[in-house]
Amino acid sequence: MSNENKGAALTPKLAQALQFFIEGKQFETFHQYLNGAQLKELAGIPLAAKLYLAVQEGYEPERIENAKEVDLARKDVENFFVKDKLKFTINGEPFTWYVQYISGKQIRALGKIGADDELFLKVPPPYENELITDEREVDLALPGKENFISKEKPFSVTLVVNTRPKPWAKKTITFEEVVILAFGSYDPNPQKVYTVNYSGGPEPKPEGSMIKGSVVHVKDKMNFDVSATNQS
């Protein structure tokens, strides 16, 4: 059961709470009148959605505009609903939306999708899934149910190894991998000594040195200075 709306001016409080339903969920308030906007805010329904009040059988439901006030102290318990609900899924989980369009940013918020992941609208083969940016608006009223999926965004940075740019597709790099980037191969012979220093890396240790078997996190344009010597 929800608390009453605190975000808008309301009528004086009553001594006893009034109960009502929105989309099948029970709410209560100590105010005799609430308008359409206040009812939508309680239920988390967008202001652009069309809200209706169920009336007695045989009559058309009453449209409740945002500014229209409803007397909740009448004999019957009021039942509000949205006629045109739109269904879709995010990573297989079902969701309901109350207006025709939804943005990529709103989809991310509903599905708790991280900023590092990419969002796609699934499209039947042989077509490729559509990338949905935060600003992109998707029409949910088209035929069929929309299904959205998220995927981890491919990681890609450029490392600077001995002043030469090298593409890298992992979030970390090992001592041995740095040497391979510098010289094309890694010689495990104990007589071969490699020295690796880095700078411009991520916090908390943006610069330092590496030894055999060590691993560091990388960032774009991170610098590595690598040298090799032979011990006699």
For 45-94, the pLDDT digits (tens) are 989 899 999 988 778 899 999 999 999 998 889 999 998 889 999 999 99
Say whether pTM exceeds 0.85: no
Q: What does the pLDDT look like over 84-133, one tens digit per residue?
A: 889 999 999 999 998 889 999 999 999 999 988 999 999 988 899 999 99
Q: Please check whether residue 84 is in contact with residue 98, taking contact to mean a CB–CB distance below 8 angstroms.
A: yes
Give the whole-angstrom CA distance, residue 44 versus residue 103. 16
3-state secondary structure of 228: strand
| Tens digits of residue pLDDT in 155-180 | 899 999 999 999 999 999 999 999 99
Q: Number of C-alpha atoms within 13 angstroms, CB side, residue 121?
A: 20
* End-to-end CA, the chain: 80
